[in-house]
């Protein structure tokens, strides 16, 4: 749920990057943070867990305008992907306004992608949120590994597995190289701010 900070004249929108462990969520945020000017991004906070990380930082996107004359601040979070950290994932999802599901293109990760999406659905249901009711963008990551002759799922397979019912926008990506990273961020930011604006204006 977007938070209004009148003392700073800001609306804060929370976007969470979700997906299986080692799928590229952290790599997305690290790439975005490095590429942004210090003037618009906040400090990155890292919470290390065994073999996994939760990251957080915020930024003021200059091109998204204002809501009720309030500046828009986007907060980006990742969740730990490994199964044992579900309590942390639930905690990070609290108050979420928009989601990026980062799916791993490796063939061996097919089942983990599907399980992670189902886990997202269940964790949102615990917060009385339907996955279909929240802004969501799919990112099919690690597409650059095709050049290394590593067996990858086709985009059609990934879309059939993860997006056949949701039918949300998707982007091919290599978070490591930055391909598709800002395209994904732009789309989810736009969708999230649009929904937050609608909710605030209807009050």
Is the model's pLDDT at 39 over the cut of 70? yes
**Strand runs (DSSP E) across 116-175, as ranges?**
136-141, 170-172
Distance CA 11, CA 41 (A): 15
Is the model's pLDDT at 51 over the cut of 70? no
- Using CA atoms, how far residue 114 sits from 10, 105, 108, 117, 178, in Å, is 36, 12, 12, 5, 24
Give per-residue pLDDT as tens, 118-168.
Answer: 999 999 999 999 999 999 999 999 999 987 789 999 999 999 999 999 999
Question: Is the domain 3-201 a CATH 3.40.50.300 member?
Answer: yes
Residue 47: pLDDT band (50, 70, 90) is confident
Domain map of the chain by residue range? 3-201
Burial classification of residue 202, based on how many CB atoms lie within 10 Å of its CB (0-12 exposed, 13-18 middle, 19 or more buried): exposed
Give per-residue pLDDT as tens, 140-154.
Answer: 999 999 877 899 999
Please indicate whether residue 170 or residue 198 has the higher confidence score (pLDDT). 170
Q: What is the residue-averaged pLDDT of the chain? A: 90
Is the model's pLDDT at 176 over the cut of 70? yes
């Amino acid at each position: 749920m977007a938070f209004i900070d009148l003392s700073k004249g800001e609306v804060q929108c929370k976007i969470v990057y979700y997906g299986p462990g080692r799928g590229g969520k952290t790599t997305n945020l690290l790439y975005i943070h490095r590429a942004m000017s210090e003037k618009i991004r906040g400090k990155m906070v890292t919470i290390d867990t065994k073999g996994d990380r939760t990251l957080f930082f915020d930024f003021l996107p200059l091109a998204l305008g204002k809501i009720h004359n309030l500046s828009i601040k986007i907060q980006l979070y990742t969740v730990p992907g490994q199964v044992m950290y579900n309590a942390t994932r639930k905690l990070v999802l609290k108050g979420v306004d928009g989601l990026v599901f980062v799916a791993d293109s490796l063939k061996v990760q097919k089942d983990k992608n599907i399980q992670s999406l189902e886990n997202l659905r269940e964790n949102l249901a615990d917060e009385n949120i339907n996955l279909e009711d929240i802004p969501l963008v799919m990112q099919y990551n690690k597409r650059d590994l095709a050049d290394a002759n590593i067996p990858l799922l086709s985009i059609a397979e990934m879309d059939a597995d993860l997006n056949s019912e949701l039918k949300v926008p998707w982007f091919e990506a290599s978070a490591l190289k930055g391909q598709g990273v800002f395209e994904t961020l732009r789309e989810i930011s736009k969708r999230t701010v649009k929904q937050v604006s609608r909710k605030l204006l209807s009050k």
